[in-house]
Amino acid sequence: MLVLHVLSDFIDCDFAISGSSPSYWYEGRCLQSGVGVAHRRHRLKLPRTSISEAIAHGLMQQLAKNDCYFREGKMYGILLVELPHGEQRVLKAFSGLLNGCSVVEGWVPPIPGRDEVALEETRTLAQLDAIKHELFTLKQLTERQQYETLSDEFEQQLQAMSDRHRYSKHQRQQKRQQICNTLTEEALTIALEQLDEESRQQGIERRQLKRQQNELLQPLQQLIAATDTRISELKQQRKALSRQLQAQMQASYSLTNFSGRSVSLQQLMPGGSPTGTGDCCAPKLLHYAATHNLKPLAMAEFWWGASSVNQDKIQGKFYGACAERCQPLMGFLLSGLKPKPPALSPSRGVRSPSPHRGGVGGEVTLPIIYEDEWLIVVNKPTGLLSVPGRYRDRQDSVLSRLRHLLPDGMALASVHRLDQETSGILLLARDRQTHRQINQQFQQRQVHKVYEAILSGVVTVDQGKIDLPLWGDPENRPYQKVDWQDGKPSLTHFQVIAREQDYTRVEFTPLTGRTHQLRVHAADARGLGVTILGDRLYGCCAVTSRLHLHARELRFQHPQLEKTLHLQAITPF
């Protein structure tokens, strides 16, 4: 099967592209020895360059000639490679399946392993599809609306009856007082019995209405309860089937890197991986190059076709390695390459067929600590904003990168923030309801946060609390200061972990979440009186590469799963 293509299939080789630096780097860290070893070596990189973008644009022009590629929106990629004798060729790949096929003439084949579970995958997908249709039918149960309508009607009738009976009771009480003073004993007895009978009849009337309500609503309620139980069972079956299939695929998929080492997805990602891991363009291209003695020079991936409801991908735009499926594999896949691949020959110039450029630059990765359909939690690196700033040069952030990389990224909302210089756990919600529920936990101080810091001096007290109200200085933003008159209450617990020469390692537990709270509580003389190492804004003069403040732990109640999540990120200093 023809897989290697000449450059002239995609670009005009009679013209040259003006030199420019790579617009994106595929990168990872080479493992020191084996999978799962914590110690790591040098960073490995593979660029997306002008020539790879030009080749990708040539592929886009080919895709544009056939409407079937537009109907089935997906990621496509190209890899510029060098053959053993020095000639350059192009590999192309698609993510997942193309028109239902995994092997297509002219495209890189899938990573070995899919065929081994193809039959089981087909069977499981059919089961999942049947569950999907049954769930849809159960959720459309007409008796739910019928129950709601009848319930509302009975509530209105009961309310009207209660109002009427309350008025009648008041009238009877007045009448009793009146006849007790005017009627003789015999007549009084008869009149009182009549009033009591009226009261009994109204009680009977209310019980009859409640009985009628139960007779009509109870069967509907039982049916709805049985339906909800079935829905819960189906969801559990769906989850179990998905996990089973994913485990089988992870165990069977075998990836090979440029050192000649082959491992399964299960070995690479022992904690589990999202569905579709191994089917993306980048892993397919790099695995094929590694197993066919081809040296990768540059790679580019782009979206082509319509976007689904939950995706924000733009046709013709370049994207980097997806954070959840591809990025965790990059370190292994690129192992065996030299840190800096050789530059292209000056004589092999090309011209881009289109000036369009896209994608997110930067070399900072976003390790994912926890992820489900409602939440995503990342270990934010120092130097990266939590959310985009006001001005154009402050748009790069955790939120903007995830919105760019994730299929449901545009729905993401940041629940809280970390300072740009602070690293550690950052929580984002994937829908409005989850965002509102967790935000409420933050507001009610139900979220437990632990930070770790190194202070640029010695703290003599082992533990305690700092209660200093904070107020933003409007003349020196974002500087915060202690203000006893206008400041907002700010409370922090601290615990000294260790003292190392002229430095103190401290654990902070903030009970409030004010801007720069820990930094001011550490630096202010009425707090600890010692600045956090690297905190130049609050007076640290030590020469260091970063602010030594890390959000180490986060504990909160998962609003959907109704369980406590206790997340941790190892302190990097």
**Catalytic sites, residue numbers:** 419
Q: What is the pLDDT of residues 37-77, one digit of tens each?
A: 333 345 678 999 989 999 999 999 999 988 777 778 899 99
Is the predicted pLDDT of residue 508 greater than 60, yes or no? yes
**Terminal C-alpha separation, the chain:** 51
pLDDT reported for residue 359: 32
Is the predicted pLDDT of residue 539 greater than 60, yes or no? yes
* Inter-residue contact 538 to 419 (CB < 8 Å): no
Distances from the Cα of 569 to the Cα of 168, 204, 554, angstroms = 68, 65, 9
pLDDT band, very low/low/confident/very high, at 25 (cuts 50, 70, 90):
confident
CA distance 201 to 208: 10
CA distance 158 to 174: 24
Torsion, CA 478, CA 479, CA 483, CA 487, rounded to 10: 20
DSSP labels, 360-403: ---S----EEEE-SSEEEEEEPTT-BSS--SSGGG--BHHHHHH
Is the predicted pLDDT of residue 34 greater than 50, yes or no? no
pLDDT band, very low/low/confident/very high, at 551 (cuts 50, 70, 90):
very high
Specify the pairing of strand 549-557 against strand 423-429: parallel
Mean pLDDT over 364-371 rounds to 78
- DSSP code for 445: T
Mean pLDDT over 324-344 rounds to 69
- Give the mean pLDDT of the chain: 84
pLDDT reported for residue 209: 92
pLDDT reported for residue 198: 92
Q: What is the pLDDT of residues 69-119, one digit of tens each?
A: 777 889 999 999 999 888 899 999 999 888 878 888 999 998 876 566 666
pLDDT reported for residue 219: 93
Mean pLDDT over 489-506 rounds to 93
Share of the chain above pLDDT 70, in %: 85
pLDDT reported for residue 343: 32
Residues ≥6 apart with Cβ < 8 Å to 408? 310, 311, 430
Is the predicted pLDDT of residue 271 greater than 70, yes or no? no
H or E element in which residue 430 lies:
none
Residues ≥6 apart with Cβ < 8 Å to 330? 26, 27, 28, 44, 282, 321
CA distance 39 to 169: 82
pLDDT reported for residue 114: 59
249-253, 274-278, 298-302, 315-319 — most confident range:
298-302
* Inter-residue contact 111 to 255 (CB < 8 Å): yes
Mean pLDDT over 514-537 rounds to 94
Mean pLDDT over 492-514 rounds to 93
Count of CA atoms in the C-beta half-sphere (13 A) of 53: 26
**377-568: CATH, from 3.30.2350.10, 3.40.50.2300, 3.90.1150.10, 3.40.50.720:** 3.30.2350.10
**Residue 492: strand pairing partners:** 466, 510
Answer yes or no: pTM beyond 0.75: no
pLDDT reported for residue 59: 95
pLDDT reported for residue 66: 83
Is the predicted pLDDT of residue 348 greater than 70, yes or no? no
- 143 or 323, which is more confident? 143
CA distance 411 to 402: 10
- DSSP code for 335: T
Is the predicted pLDDT of residue 406 greater than 50, yes or no? yes
pLDDT reported for residue 91: 97
Is the predicted pLDDT of residue 491 greater than 90, yes or no? yes
Torsion, CA 413, CA 418, CA 422, CA 427, rounded to 10: -50
Mean pLDDT over 357-380 rounds to 70
What are the φ and ψ backbone dihedral angles of 28, each rounded to 5 degrees? -170, 175
